[in-house]
């Protein structure tokens, strides 16, 4: 049995409790477009307190702004959204590969197929190596793009799949707090992980060694 074969039964249950949602207007009631990743662990409606009719949720691999542009233009120009919130997340699949690697995987699955090779060579998969920096880059890209409306709020966020917490990076909002174990490779306990982020880890380690080696 395929997954899709179970959809009709689930939909019957949904229809039974559909209520008056059929009267919702087409433009989103809260006039916001959410750009986020397609990752199956993300449920934007749940973690942002949204319900049907509130927002446009635009999803793609990585929550990449440039991939979302077509939908953003439709959302703003035809359906009246006047705010963009862009989300990336921790443990994202886009951190695990690069474009040449994925192109090779696709080509190796169809050896000798020049059409597939040519098509995949024309795709850049927009992988990234740092989630926070990717958010900043995408927000700046949106602000600079001539097809995106000017003078509207554009915020950048990171969702932590480990905790469910969403932290605003741009404009600067709640500070993201990292576990000390993710910051140092030496295995010592850091009492204040937010403070250790402000210093060079080598200096922190030297300080630790000096402190613990003193009789």
- Summarised one tens digit per residue, pLDDT across range 19-65 is 999 999 999 999 999 999 999 999 999 999 999 999 999 999 999 99
Higher pLDDT pick, 36 / 185: 36
The yes-or-no verdict on residue 14 having pLDDT over 50 is yes
For residue 171, name the pLDDT band (cuts at 50, 70, 90): confident
Question: 31 a known binding residue?
Answer: no
The answer to whether the CB of 182 falls within 8 A of the CB of 198 is no
Question: 121 a known binding residue?
Answer: no
CA atoms of 50 and 40, how far apart (whole Å):
17
Report the mean per-residue pLDDT for the chain.
86
The model's pLDDT over 122-168, given as tens digits with 9 standing for 90+, comes to 999 999 999 999 999 999 999 999 999 999 999 999 999 999 999 99
Q: Tell me the residue range of the domain where 210 lies.
A: 178-215
Stretch 85-102: mean pLDDT, rounded? 97
Name the DSSP letter for residue 199: S
The yes-or-no verdict on residue 104 having pLDDT over 60 is yes
| Residues 159 and 198 placed together within one structural domain of the fold | no
| Residues 80 and 143 placed together within one structural domain of the fold | yes
pTM of the model: 0.79
Name the DSSP letter for residue 41: T
Question: 108 a known binding residue?
Answer: no
| Residues 113 and 194 placed together within one structural domain of the fold | no
CA atoms of 22 and 207, how far apart (whole Å):
63
Residue with the two structure tokens 């973690």: 47
| Residues 165 and 199 placed together within one structural domain of the fold | no
Question: 43 a known binding residue?
Answer: no
> Percent of the chain having pLDDT more than 90?
78
For residue 210, name the pLDDT band (cuts at 50, 70, 90): low
For residue 204, name the pLDDT band (cuts at 50, 70, 90): very low
| Residues 200 and 136 placed together within one structural domain of the fold | no
| Residues 129 and 212 placed together within one structural domain of the fold | no
| Residues 159 and 172 placed together within one structural domain of the fold | yes
| Residues 184 and 157 placed together within one structural domain of the fold | no
CA atoms of 10 and 8, how far apart (whole Å):
5
Q: Which two tokens stand for residue 194?
A: 């937010």
What pLDDT is recorded for position 173? 56
Is residue 11 assigned to a domain?
no
Higher pLDDT pick, 39 / 177: 39
Higher pLDDT pick, 77 / 172: 77
| Residues 80 and 134 placed together within one structural domain of the fold | yes
What pLDDT is recorded for position 195? 41
For residue 109, name the pLDDT band (cuts at 50, 70, 90): very high
CA atoms of 65 and 80, how far apart (whole Å):
19
| Residues 215 and 128 placed together within one structural domain of the fold | no
| Residues 81 and 141 placed together within one structural domain of the fold | yes
Distance, CA of 180 to chain centre: 23
The yes-or-no verdict on residue 103 having pLDDT over 60 is yes
| Residues 120 and 203 placed together within one structural domain of the fold | no
């Amino acid at each position: 049995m395929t997954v899709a074969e179970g959809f009709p039964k689930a939909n019957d249950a949904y229809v039974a409790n559909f209520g008056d949602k059929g009267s919702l207007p087409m433009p989103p009631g809260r006039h916001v477009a959410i750009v986020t990743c397609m990752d199956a662990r993300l449920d934007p409606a749940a973690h942002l307190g949204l319900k049907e009719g509130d927002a446009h949720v635009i999803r793609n691999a990585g929550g990449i702004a440039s991939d979302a542009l077509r939908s953003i233009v439709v959302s703003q120009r035809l359906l009246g959204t006047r705010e963009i919130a862009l989300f990336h997340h921790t443990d994202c699949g886009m951190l695990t590969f690069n474009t040449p690697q994925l192109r090779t995987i696709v080509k190796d699955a169809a050896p000798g197929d020049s059409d597939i090779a040519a098509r995949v060579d024309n795709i850049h998969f927009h992988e990234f190596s740092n989630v926070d920096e990717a958010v900043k880059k995408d927000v700046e890209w949106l602000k600079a793009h001539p097809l995106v409306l000017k003078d509207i709020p554009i915020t950048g966020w990171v969702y932590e799949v480990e905790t469910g917490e969403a932290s605003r990076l741009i404009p600067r909002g709640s500070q993201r707090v990292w576990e000390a174990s993710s910051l140092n490779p030496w295995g010592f306990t850091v009492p204040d992980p937010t403070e250790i982020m402000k210093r060079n880890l080598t200096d922190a380690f030297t300080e630790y060694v000096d402190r613990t080696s003193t009789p």
